[in-house]
């Protein structure tokens, strides 16, 4: 498929070079997709993981070097208006056809110490924004029933809940929202899936967490952003269009390890 036939994909959560979102952006750019990359610098400042002063711009330039158009949009997905802003940026060129949801709010807390503010912020970013992004994206699709794919959505989830309660609970809501979209909007050509990538070290792992992850992964190594990007690339391709409404585990066997 030529670049002219591919169109534009919006990707959220592309604020750091080591993020899964950055890996996905590079992979999709290599396949010829034009991109709108969403990020929110204050979140990256707050969580304090490894990044450079201009990571979003550098990621965008890497993708542009592969011959695609890239727009950067800084948007706070904890606000109700930000999802529409991102989708409008993607739709502005008239060929929006994909949405990758790789952003998150993730701050550790447990049953007894989670605050109302933290709970609400997690659900605003990890659940409400997912719904609003999907809604705005779906409103761009043709209304006439079709068996051909007209739009593709991939969202990232996680099983992590213990001592990361609001994150895990809101990711559970994400799964249900995406699967509901696949069923409710399938007749309009929407294909929507969730990927659970397992533990990927994007800068948050301690040596102890890294070793524990290795011991529980039958494939013998931790996952990388490239591993997730490869599956996203497949789902965005014609070859992946028969897969929809699924929660896919791409994690080297981590989920089933004992």
Q: Which domains does the chain have, with CATH numbers?
A: 3-256 (3.40.50.720)
pLDDT tens digits, one per residue of 177-195: 999 999 999 999 999 999 9
Query: What local confidence, expressed as pLDDT, does residue 134 receive?
Result: 98
Read off φ and ψ for residue 39, nearest 5 degrees: -155, 165
SS3 breakdown of the chain: % helix, strand, coil, rounded to 5? 45, 15, 40
- Whether the predicted model's global pTM rises above the 0.75 cut: yes
Region 193-198: mean pLDDT is 96
Check: CB of residue 96 under 8 Å from CB of residue 142: no
Tokens of 49: 């993981």
Considering only 4-8, 65-69, 154-158, 184-188, which range has the smallest mean pLDDT? 4-8
Other Cβ atoms within 10 Å of 175 Cβ, number: 17
Other Cβ atoms within 10 Å of 211 Cβ, number: 12
- pLDDT > 70: what percent of the chain? 97
pLDDT value at 220 more than 70: yes
- Please give the Cα distance from 128 to 81 (Å, whole number): 11
Tokens of 62: 């890497």
pLDDT value at 205 more than 90: no
Query: What local confidence, expressed as pLDDT, does residue 3 receive?
Result: 42
Check: CB of residue 55 under 8 Å from CB of residue 24: no
């Amino acid at each position: 498929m030529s670049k002219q036939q591919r169109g534009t994909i919006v990707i959220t959560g592309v604020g750091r070079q080591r993020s899964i979102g950055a890996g996905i952006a590079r992979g999709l750019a290599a396949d010829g997709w034009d991109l709108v990359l969403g990020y929110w610098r204050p979140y990256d400042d707050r969580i304090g993981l490894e990044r450079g002063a201009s990571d979003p711009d550098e990621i965008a330039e890497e993708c542009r070097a592969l011959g695609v158009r890239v727009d950067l949009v800084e948007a706070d997905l904890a606000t109700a208006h930000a999802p529409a802003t991102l989708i409008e940026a993607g739709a502005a060129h008239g060929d929006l056809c994909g949405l990758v949801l790789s952003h998150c709010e993730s701050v550790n807390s447990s049953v007894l110490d989670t605050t109302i503010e933290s709970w609400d912020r997690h659900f605003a970013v990890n659940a409400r924004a997912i719904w609003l992004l999907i809604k705005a994206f779906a409103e761009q699709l043709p209304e006439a029933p079709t068996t051909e794919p007209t739009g593709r959505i991939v969202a990232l989830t996680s099983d992590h809940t213990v001592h990361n309660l609001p994150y895990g609970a809101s990711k559970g809501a994400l799964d249900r929202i995406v699967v509901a979209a696949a069923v409710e909007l399938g007749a309009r050509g929407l294909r929507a899936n969730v990927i659970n990538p397992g533990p990927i070290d994007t800068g948050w792992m301690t040596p102890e967490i890294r070793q524990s992850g290795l011991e529980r992964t039958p494939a013998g190594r931790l996952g990388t952003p490239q591993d997730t990007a490869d599956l996203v690339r497949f789902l965005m391709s014609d070859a992946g269009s028969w897969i929809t409404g699924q929660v896919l585990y791409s994690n080297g066997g981590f989920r089933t390890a004992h």
